[in-house]
């Protein structure tokens, strides 16, 4: 429905050519903006209801005081693998987790894996590269989120969350405690939950528009041949170069798999191509722009730097075993 609306608006009302770079970029912008803002609003309402009725404080206490031997990061990563979100679409749920006080390392495990692995990308990958490569891709995506979340949790990064998020957390705790005392019905709580959700949307709106605008420009105007020229197997620096070139880009896993197939057909090693794909879908400038409302630049840099390093190491490993 959102895709049809964006197509009608851009190609019908605006009269842009679907085959042109401008038409493709503008369609991308309206489609992703509508999708992400709607998703953010709905997830914010859902998380508000959960915070009102579910004992989020007990869950937070359980995750921070029990010895789970790292399983909490694996569970968050597995949850990310079954959610069909791209990196920017994962952010609304990430905000909901942070707002509820879930440990930051656990939320990072979700945020890392969610865009990397989804059922559509797995099906396309299976058809393009076979079972062995697909299993390695899926397993590595889940492990990347699990290990990344664990490593980032060791840094005690909660102090680098933005003041906006800290205010959300405080207001959420106070509101939940008040509702628990009053035992208010959902019908009476819903208007306040909806107002909070709209407040969250208004708070990140500018960041969403800027981020998706960057992604739309890259989506329509970055030429494919630029990458295949420098990522050949003879280049020892191909893996880090592929990852660094991919970070400014923005696409979901399902959209990038056909591009990866072209790269491999033109001589790019499969491990290098997978590392490129992981960086495209797991890290992007639009994602960083949206995360700026949630994190300080220092925290964004730590997050991106850690995940980038892991993806580069994974790319070299893939090239050895594939």
Condensed to tens digits (0 to 9), the pLDDT of residues 137-161 reads 889 989 999 999 999 988 888 888 8
Taking only the tens place, the pLDDT of each residue in 56-87 is 555 555 665 666 777 889 888 888 887 766 66
- 101: left (phi > 0), else alpha (psi -120 to 50), else beta? left
Tell me: pLDDT of 136 over 80: yes
The CA distance from 269 to 276, in Å, is: 11
Task: Report residue 110's pLDDT band, with 50, 70 and 90 as the boundaries.
Answer: confident
Q: Which residues, 6+ apart, have CB-to-CB distance to 236 below 8 Å?
A: none
Look at residue 87 in the predicted model and tell me its pLDDT: 63
Look at the chain and report how many structural domains it folds into. Answer: 1
Write out the residue range of the structural domain in which residue 266 sits. 2-321
Task: Give φ, ψ of 276 to 5 degrees.
Answer: -60, -45
Distance CA 193, CA 46 (A): 9
Closest CA to 285 of 222, 215, 223: 215
Distance CA 32, CA 28 (A): 6
The pLDDT of residue 283: 82
- pLDDT category at 189 given cuts 50, 70, 90 is confident
Rounded-to-integer distance, Cα 28 and Cα 287, Å: 15
> Which residue has better confidence, 225 or 133?
133
The three-class DSSP label of residue 161 is strand
Tokens of 29: 């912008």
| pLDDT above 80 (res 125) | no
- DSSP line for 103-158: -HHHHHHHHHHHHH--HHHHHHHHHHH-HHHHHHHHHHHHHHHHHHHHHHHTT-GG
Lowest mean pLDDT among 33-42, 85-94, 126-135, 294-303: 85-94
What is the average per-residue pLDDT within 269-280? 87
**pLDDT cut 90: percent of the chain above it:** 7
Q: Does residue 178 surpass a pLDDT of 60?
A: no
Band (pLDDT 50/70/90 cuts) for residue 119 is low
């Amino acid at each position: 429905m959102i895709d049809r609306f964006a197509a009608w608006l851009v190609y019908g009302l605006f009269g842009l050519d679907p085959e042109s770079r401008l038409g493709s970029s503008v369609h991308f912008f309206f489609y992703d903006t509508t999708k992400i803002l709607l998703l953010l609003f709905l997830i914010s309402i859902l998380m508000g209801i959960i915070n009102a009725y579910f004992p989020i404080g007990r869950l937070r206490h359980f995750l921070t005081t029990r010895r789970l031997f790292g399983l909490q990061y694996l569970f968050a990563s597995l949850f990310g693998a079954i959610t069909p979100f791209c990196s920017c679409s994962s952010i609304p749920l990430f905000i909901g987790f942070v707002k509820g006080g879930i440990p930051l390392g656990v939320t990072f495990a979700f945020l890392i894996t969610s865009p990397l692995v989804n059922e559509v990308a797995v099906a396309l990958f299976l058809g393009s590269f076979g079972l062995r490569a697909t299993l390695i891709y899926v397993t590595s995506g889940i492990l990347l989120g699990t290990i990344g979340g664990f490593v980032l949790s060791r840094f005690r990064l909660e102090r680098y969350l933005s003041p906006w998020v800290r205010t959300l957390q405080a207001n959420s705790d106070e509101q939940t405690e008040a509702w628990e005392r009053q035992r208010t019905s959902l019908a009476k709580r819903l208007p306040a939950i909806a107002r909070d959700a709209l407040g969250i949307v208004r708070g990140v709106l500018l960041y969403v528009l800027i981020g998706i605008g960057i992604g739309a420009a890259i989506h329509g105007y970055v030429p494919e041949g630029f990458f295949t020229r420098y990522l050949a197997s003879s280049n020892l620096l191909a893996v880090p170069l592929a990852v660094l070139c991919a970070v400014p880009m923005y696409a979901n896993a399902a959209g990038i798999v056909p591009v990866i197939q072209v790269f491999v057909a033109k001589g790019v090693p499969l491990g290098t191509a997978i590392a490129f794909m992981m960086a495209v879908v797991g890290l992007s400038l639009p994602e960083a722009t949206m995360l700026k409302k949630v994190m300080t630049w220092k925290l964004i840099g730590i997050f991106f730097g850690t995940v980038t390093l892991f993806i580069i190491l994974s790319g070299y490993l893939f090239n050895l075993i594939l």
